[in-house]
Amino acid sequence: MLVDSHVNLHHEKFDGEVEAVIARARAAGVTAMLTISDKISSTEKIRAIAARHQDVWRSVGAHPHYASDHKDLTAEALVALAGETDVVGVGECGLDFHYGFSPREDQERVFAAHIEAAQETGLPLIIHTREADEATGAMLARAIGRKPFVPLLHCYTSGLALADAVMEMGGFISFSGIITFKNAEDVRAVAARMPQDRIIIETDCPYLAPIPHRGRRCEPAHVVHVADKLGEILGLPRAEIDRLTTENFFRLFARAGFPGRAS
């Protein structure tokens, strides 16, 4: 059993093919997945996908690229959206200073609302951070000092310092197909250093297809290649990677239950 902890099944690249994509994932041994919210306006489409499948859960939130479109988003609104039982996480949210599609002040305002929602709901906070390690770490540290929550660093490619800091906070970390890329030695080095009981895996599909699918549309079925590479990095057999990452997922996303929610 494998779980893909971060998929974007509502993406236009999957239009008309969602059921086939999920079927291929199941055939590959991927028996559960978490489909992620990028914008609040995507909620209905994401909800409909999750409702059709017992072991597809969802999150609520707004990606930092779209922070300027969500300047009025409040923690209260996120808490209300998170009230449905198939919602197991808050995000994807965070800071992205690489592209700067939204001004930094908008990103920080919206990120703060997500942090507060995670604190209020007790759901994990699904974090995107790129070229923003210092600011991300500072916001998380200030907030966790006020009220606890569990941060998850998704599709991690940043430095060891932030990863270590989040582990000290009791957080988790997720690695994607990037760990299979030839130029990703630094990411593999971080993966090797992380506590094994805090690691989960993902595809972030339709993006970041792992080798041997690089350059093509990524699908949840491809998370098996992430698991293979993680096993190489940690020196563990695939069966142990499957067990470890699946148990870690359900411990982190406790609302999902194990091995699946009731119909």
String of DSSP letters for 16-46: TTHHHHHHHHHHTTEEEEEEPPS-GGGHHHH
Specify which residues 200 forms β-bridges with. 174
Mean of pLDDT values over 83-102: 96
In this prediction, residue 259 carries a pLDDT of 56
pLDDT tens-digit readout, 113-160: 999 999 999 999 999 999 999 999 999 999 999 999 999 999 999 999
Domains of the chain: 2-256 (3.20.20.140)
Look at residue 260 and tell me whether its pLDDT is greater than 90: no
Cβ–Cβ < 8 Å for 36, 6? yes
For residue 262, the model assigns a pLDDT of: 37
Mean pLDDT of 230-238: 98
pLDDT at residue 261, as a whole number: 40
| Span 189-210, average pLDDT | 98
**pLDDT value at residue 176:** 98
Question: Residue 64 and residue 101: Cα distance in Å, rounded?
Answer: 8
Please report, for residues 69, 89, 117, 227, the alpha-carbon distance to residue 79 in angstroms, rounded to integers and kept in the order given. 19, 11, 6, 33
Q: What is the DSSP string of 174-238?
A: EE-GGGGSTT-HHHHHHHHHS-GGGEEE---BTS-PPTTSTTS---GGGHHHHHHHHHHHHT--H
CB 29 within 8 A of CB 238: no
Residues 140 and 126: their CA atoms lie apart, in Å, by 12
Tell me if 101 sits within 8 A of 135, measured CB to CB.
Answer: no
Per residue in 200-225, pLDDT (tens digit) is 999 999 999 999 999 999 999 999 99
The pLDDT of residue 257:
87
Tell me if 223 sits within 8 A of 31, measured CB to CB.
no
